[in-house]
Amino acid sequence: MTSAEVLAGVRDALQSITAPRLFETERGYQGALLGQLDRRLQLPARVIVEQEYQKQAGRHGVTIRPDIIIHEPFDPERFADRTQGNVAVIELKLRSTAAEAADDFMSLGLMLDELRYPLGIFINIGAERTWAELLPQALHGRVACFAVRLQDTAVTVVEVYQPSNS
């Protein structure tokens, strides 16, 4: 599955969430997004969308709890290590501040570097701002930034992503 395919599915999933209540809490939005991603991504047979999976230092090299991961769960019969089978890691924030976005960008960078996720995604819920201008240069082309908000019954999605040329 390519990054472009993942991002298309994320975009569709974000557009499909229209219940005002879900824009009030990060946890509520996360639940709706999980279901929509599962419906809209054309995932290979073994790849799943999973929430808040605790990464453990001894097994993964990091102790971050990402909001959502898209991956093929580790199977020692299929993979040499836990860096294989990873598709995307997603961090969500409800009306993020600049400091919160910067922290999430650091977490995404660790996940991308340590576990070799090819794509990181930051979603700012209930907001117009993606905070993409705060993305460290090393993450350009590796992290897509979204802002999603509901006004009346219309969902607005703002996306900033510059795929790398390599």
pLDDT, tens only, 22-62? 999 999 999 999 999 999 998 888 988 998 655 444 444 55
* pLDDT value of position 44: 86
Tell me: pLDDT of 66 over 90. Answer: no
Which band of pLDDT confidence, cut at 50, 70 and 90, is reported for residue 73?
confident
Q: Where are the alpha helices (DSSP H) in 17-56?
A: 26-40
Q: Is 66 exposed, middle or buried (0-12, 13-18, 19+ CB in 10 A)?
A: buried
* Long-range contacts at 133-138 (CB < 8 A, ≥ 24 apart): 134/98, 134/101, 134/102, 134/105, 135/105, 136/105, 136/109, 138/109
* pLDDT value of position 112: 93
Mean pLDDT of the chain: 89
pTM of the full predicted structure? 0.90
CATH class of residue range 3-160 = alpha beta
